[in-house]
Amino acid sequence: MNSLLRKMQILRIIKLNSITLLILLMCSSLPSLAADKFNFENENKLKINKIKSAYLYNFLKYITLPKDPRKSGKGYFSVCILGNNPFGTALDSLSGRMAKGLEVKVKKLNELKESIDCHIIYVSQSKINDIDSILATLRDDSILTVSDITDFAHKGGVIGFITNNEKIGIEINLDNARQANIRISASLLEIAKLTE
């Protein structure tokens, strides 16, 4: 009887130790799961930012601006970021590339009044509270305005980034483009959602 009792106590101790070990293993994997999720989200964000950067570069090829850099003597295209730079390092590859035979320069704007040399202004999410006044100020400046702020093209911007089933697309407001005297090629219009 004592030996049976002894065996039951040993089995109970083994069972408790097994449960404890299992809990410890599960807890030790939680930081790993969190790190994996963090890495996945960062990789996904970097991928999205690279796609948006590529769009910004290609916009220069498929639009015609009244402020032609060749005529103004600038000799380069200026892509400006108004507000916090959401692109991180993804935008670095844009600077120094050539579009229509001209160098592309990326510039960070601290204030809207610095936009005089800009051909494209990307309005970041950090400026969402000022979006109406920003677009009202830029409306007649012949600058291509771009953003991923929700309904940007409806609010007065020219091109808004939209996400559909985790794919990045663009929405173009032709009325806003015409008001800014910006001509957009048919090739770009074909891949965009058009809005008024």
CB 109 within 8 A of CB 138: no
For residue range 134-158, what is the model confidence (pLDDT) as tens digits?
A: 999 998 888 999 999 999 999 999 9
CA distances from 79 to 99, 127, 143 (A): 12, 17, 10
Q: Domain map of the chain by residue range?
A: 45-195
Average model confidence (pLDDT) across the chain: 81
Reduce the DSSP state of residue 157 to 3 states and report it.
coil
Planar angle of CA 183, 93, 141, nearest 5 degrees? 30
Reported for 108-112, long-range contacts at CB under 8 A and 24+ positions apart, including other chains, are 108/80, 108/81, 109/80, 109/81, 109/82, 109/83, 112/82, 112/137, 112/138
Average of per-residue pLDDT across 160-176: 91
Structure tokens, 177: 């483009």
DSSP string across 96-135: T-EETTEEEEEEEESSGGGGGG-SEEEE-GGGGGGHHHHH
DSSP state of 125: G
pLDDT at residue 19, as a whole number: 54
DSSP state of 172: E
DSSP state of 93: T
pLDDT at residue 16, as a whole number: 47
Taking residue 60's Cβ as centre, other Cβ atoms within 10 Å add up to: 21
Q: Please state which of the four CATH numbers 3.40.50.2300, 1.10.287.610, 3.90.180.10, 3.30.460.10 is assigned to the domain occupying 45-195.
A: 3.40.50.2300
Structure tokens, 179: 């008001």
pLDDT at residue 34, as a whole number: 46
Q: Of 94 and 81, which is predicted with more confidence?
A: 81
